Amino acid sequence: MDRKDKVEGEGSYTGAKEYDKRTKKFVDSGKVEQAANDAAPQSEEEAREMENAERVGKKHIKEEDPAVRGKKP
């Protein structure tokens, strides 16, 4: 990747552009549903472990962004 201006500051425009490109390619491939099924818990125990991990992770946030649930701030 040869850029004239290598400084991008906070956030990477080239990184974001590459991510968007790869994401669109994946979505257009038609493999999203299969990937979602592959990522689903394979047992009740695994589902509980995933829920617990999510709960632990959420303890570290100050508060949830109201936009996540479609609520107005």
| Separation CA 60–CA 57 (nearest Å) | 6
7 to each of 4, 13, 15, 18, 44, how far by Cα in Å? 9, 10, 12, 17, 48
With a cut of 70, say whether residue 39 has pLDDT above it. Answer: yes
User: Tens digit of pLDDT for each residue in 1-30?
Assistant: 555 666 677 778 888 999 999 999 999 999
Mean of per-residue pLDDT scores for the chain: 86
pTM listed for this prediction: 0.56
Domain ranges of the chain: 14-61
